Amino acid sequence: MTDKEGALKCNKIFEKYIKKTVEWNQTEILDSFFGKFQINDVEIEIMGDLKVKERNKWIELKLRLEKPHFIRVEDILIPVSPLEEQLKSYKKSTNNKDRKKIRFIEKALNL
């Protein structure tokens, strides 16, 4: 997760890994600059200026960017959303595919 500018920069930085170009995308519950990249066997989703719809209201998730965790991809440090915050979001989701993600994150966090 990043801001709009960071998400759009990923199109250039990871150009050879693009699976879906970062561009503005809105669904019933998500609003962001969204894209996908495939690096080796890892699929990476990028979301810039992410908003989530809760109780018919769009909620910005900028606070997650204040204390990000970092991962290294090649020579680049990339801020990522903490798993605890991802878990909270997935638990609010009504999407069935997120149930698997919940179990995966809970296992990773030893919950």
- What is the tens place of the pLDDT at every residue in 72-92? 988 988 877 788 888 888 887
Distance CA 109, CA 41 (A): 22
Q: What is the mean pLDDT of the chain?
A: 89
Count the domains in the chain: 1
Residue 87 belongs to some domain of the structure? no
Stretches where the chain sits below pLDDT 70 are none
Distance of CA 74 to the CA centre of its chain: 19
DSSP string spanning 26-67? E-SSEEEEEEEEEETTEEEEEEEEEEEEETTEEEE-GGGGTS
The CATH number covering residue 49 comes to 3.30.460.40
Distance CA 91, CA 101 (A): 9
Q: How many residues does the chain have?
A: 111
- Is the whole-model pTM more than 0.85? no
Domain that holds residue 52: 4-62
Residue 50 belongs to some domain of the structure? yes
Query: Quick one: pLDDT at residue 67?
Result: 76
Residue 31 belongs to some domain of the structure? yes
Residue 17 belongs to some domain of the structure? yes
